[in-house]
Amino acid sequence: MINLVLLIYFLLLTVLFFYSFHSYLLLYYYFKFRQRLKDKKDKSSDTRPLVTVQLPIYNEKFVIRRLLRSVVDLDYPKSKLEIQVIDDSDDETTMIVNELVQYYRKNHFEIKHIRRGSRKGYKAGALQYATNLAKGDYLAIFDADFIVPRNFLKALIGEFSDPRVGSVQARWGHLNDRYSVLTRSQAISLDNHFVMEQGLRSEANFFINFNGTCGLWAKKAIIDAGGWQSDTLAEDLDLSYRVQLKGWSIKFRGDVIVEGELPDNANSYRIQQNRWAKGTIQVARKLLKTALRSDISWSAKYEAIVHLTCHINFIAMLGLAILTLPVVYFKVESYVSVTYYNIISFFTIGVFGYPFLYYLSQRKSYVSYWRRVPYIMGVIAYSMGLSLSNTKALIEGWFNQRMVFTRTPKSGGSRKKYYVDSNSIIPILETVLGLYNLASLVYVIIHMQIVLIPFLSLYSIGFLSMGLSSLRQGMTGLKPQEVLCSRENS
């Protein structure tokens, strides 16, 4: 039994090291392309082709007014702009949209309120339906929780002067990153994804993904790749890979920032992250084999493996959270040779890469970046805290093909209550795991296993933060507070 536990623990460390090693490759690309990124030329163009702005929404009464105000304020000729509000709502959002559409039509905007009559295919189904009706050769897509900058279309449309470009992805900014430790941590994680992962993969000509919002598409690229498909919960990632496998490229523009609302509570954050984890592994099951059989470079294939399977990290993190205590106990009681512990200590070199990437992303993005750096520990803690629910999501995504799209609740700065279903047993199990890791922490402190103190501390904080916050919300309901919109990089 002891040998089995030690073997599993070693395999889990190997999995984590495999993905952690990728951070060092990103650091290599960062220093390789740093000068090229500085020298990037603005590709703004005087060309003004017809663009259709697509706004897929579902029950977005708190944010739809804000979104439409930003869209109609785009610095783009009205005669070259079509707006589609693709509304699958079943609440008062539909009435609000209808009033807004009538108002903007009177102000000479070509704006359409599209109702399908069902949610078949969820967001992918809505976009496919609307794309068939779109007049524009280019499609700009925005989720409801974002505010579109005025220069968005002018800044990005010039990228399509290269006929191989199928899509351009802008960077996400954050409206409410100062709201809490949770939102500050999310902001750092997303900054790293866009500044480091998206930006560097784009420079290296690896596959990147459209992030579901804040992007501009050539309609012919979508059609060529087979259109929007609803057989995964990551329809954006799915289409991105199918487009690039067809020979199109997706470009990333980190200088164009579209600010959006971050989930401001544990339940909403878990819903979002579980959907991303489940959808990503579904795309891996669907397309990874095709990508590996394609004629892209070996380095691009490696990136595709990491990109589409990265959530397996959460399974390894959950396993370590459970097994660290018995493995330490074996050491303290001298049941296992010290050689084993010397060998596994090698894996600790993997823990430094991503925190350094997070640091670089903050330094590159904000003038007062040092104020944000302490929250890097929050990124790690919340990732650990998500390991249980994301493991569940991965198992469901791989084995269960039943598609249920759960939207991420948005407040839009509203002080009105909205409720999130908290009937799941997951928050209870997260709390139990948090207490278990807290006990493990006490044990390693007593027995002076110093190297494990930071990890078990973060595990305890992550699990207890997710679990207790969700349990509190389930008992009292959720009352979002006002969104803070001030910026640090101005």
Rounded-to-integer distance, Cα 142 and Cα 468, Å: 33
For CA atoms 8, 9, 11, 15, the dihedral sign is: positive
Round the average pLDDT of the chain to a whole number and report it: 91
Give the list of residues 6+ apart from residue 461 with CB closer than 8 angstroms, or none.
381, 385, 434
**Mean of pLDDT values over 318-341:** 96
pLDDT, tens digit, for every residue of 10-20? 999 999 999 99
Retrieve residue 151's tokens: 């220069």
Residue 478 has pLDDT above 80, yes or no: no
Residue range 267-288: mean pLDDT, rounded: 96
State residue 274's pLDDT score: 95
CB 144, CB 67: distance < 8 Å: yes
The mean pLDDT value for 465-470 works out to 95
Confidence of residue 299 (pLDDT cuts 50, 70, 90): very high
| Predicted local distance difference test score (pLDDT) of residue 475 | 67
> Would you call 73 helix, strand, or coil by DSSP?
coil
Judged against a pLDDT cut of 80, whether residue 486 lies above it is answered with no
User: pLDDT tens digits, residue range 36-48?
Assistant: 766 566 667 778 9
Residue 192 corresponds to which tokens in the numbers above?
Answer: 């790293």
Alpha helices, DSSP H only, in 371-452? Answer: 376-385, 387-399, 426-446
Give residue 422's pLDDT band: very low, low, confident or very high (50, 70, 90).
Answer: very low
pLDDT of residue 35: 75
Q: What is the pLDDT of residue 40?
A: 61
Contact assessment for residue 84 and residue 50, using Cβ atoms and an 8 Å cutoff: no
**Which pLDDT belongs to residue 93?**
95
Cα(466)–Cα(143) distance, integer angstroms = 25
Question: Where are the extended beta strands (E) located within 28-103?
Answer: 51-57, 81-87
pLDDT at 41 (0 to 100) = 60
Give pLDDT tens digits for 227-257. Answer: 999 999 999 999 999 999 999 999 999 999 9
Residue 274 · residue 393 · CB < 8 Å: yes
pLDDT of residue 472: 87
Task: Pick the catalytic residue from 87, 177, 236, 238.
Answer: 236
DSSP state at residue 193: I
**Per-residue pLDDT for 405 more than 80?**
no
Q: What is the largest CA-CA distance in the chain?
A: 80
Q: Which amino acid is at 152?
A: F
Whether residue 173 is predicted with pLDDT greater than 70 in this model: the reply is yes
Q: Are strands 249-260 and 146-147 parallel, antiparallel or unpaired?
A: antiparallel
For position 489, what pLDDT does the model report?
Answer: 39
Structure-block tokens of residue 260: 């959006």
Mean pLDDT (whole number) for 149-162: 96
pLDDT grade for 378, boundaries at 50, 70 and 90: very high
Least confident of 147-156, 169-178, 472-481: 472-481
For residues 461 and 381, is the Cβ–Cβ distance under 8 A?
yes
| Paired tokens of 281 | 């592994």
Q: Which two tokens stand for residue 421?
A: 């279903």
The pLDDT score that the predictor gives to residue 366 is 95
Q: Are strands 165-174 and 215-218 parallel, antiparallel or unpaired?
A: antiparallel
DSSP 3-state of 301:
helix
pLDDT digits (tens, 9 = 90+) for 184-224: 999 999 999 999 999 999 999 999 999 999 999 999 999 99
Block residue for tokens 């295919």: 121
How big is the chain, counted in residues?
490
Which two tokens mark 321?
Answer: 């959270």
Of 317, 352, 374, 376, nearest in space to 186 by CA? 376
Whether the pLDDT of residue 410 is over 80: the answer is: no
418 vs 95, more confident: 95
pLDDT at 317 over 60: yes
Which value, in Å, is the radius of gyration of the alpha carbons in the chain?
A: 23
88 is catalytic: yes
Binning pLDDT at 50, 70 and 90, where does residue 484 land? very low
| Segment 345-371 mean pLDDT | 94
Strand, helix or coil for residue 249: strand
When pLDDT is cut at 50, 70 and 90, the band that residue 34 belongs to is confident
Residues of the chain with pLDDT > 90: what percent?
87
Instruction: Please give the distance of CA 209 from its chain centroid, rounded to a whole number.
Output: 11
How far apart CA 170 and CA 164 sit, in angstroms, is 18
SS3 at position 255? strand
Element (H, E) at 52: strand 51-57
Q: For residue 306, which of 11, 16, 10 has the smallest C-alpha distance?
A: 16
What burial class does residue 174 get, using C-beta atoms within 10 Å of its C-beta: 0-12 exposed, 13-18 middle, 19+ buried? buried
pLDDT tens digits for 46-72? 789 999 999 999 999 999 999 999 999
The pLDDT of residue 420 is 47
Can you tell me which residue has the tokens 């220069």? 151
- Give the alpha-carbon dihedral of 388, 391, 393, 398, to 10 degrees: -170
Distance (Å, whole) CA 381 – CA 462: 4
The mean per-residue pLDDT over the stretch 298-326 comes to: 97
CA gap 468, 258 in Å, rounded: 32
Q: Which amino acid is at 60?
A: E
Q: Are 405 and 275 in contact (CB under 8 A)?
A: yes
Q: Smallest Cα–Cα separation from 239: which of 283, 177, 269, 206?
A: 283
Distance CA 322, CA 306 (A): 25
Q: What is the DSSP letter of 17?
A: H
**CA angle centred on 75, ends 72 and 79, rounded to 5°:** 70
236 is annotated as an active-site residue = yes
Q: Which of 88, 177, 191, 238 is catalytic?
A: 88
> What does the alpha-carbon distance between residue 22 and residue 430 come to, in Å, rounded to a whole number?
28
Two structure tokens written together for 41: 């030329």
User: Given pLDDT bands bounded at 50, 70 and 90, which one contains residue 481?
Assistant: very low
pLDDT at 482 over 50: no
Provide the pLDDT confidence category of residue 407 given band limits of 50, 70 and 90: low
Residue 480 has pLDDT above 60, yes or no: no
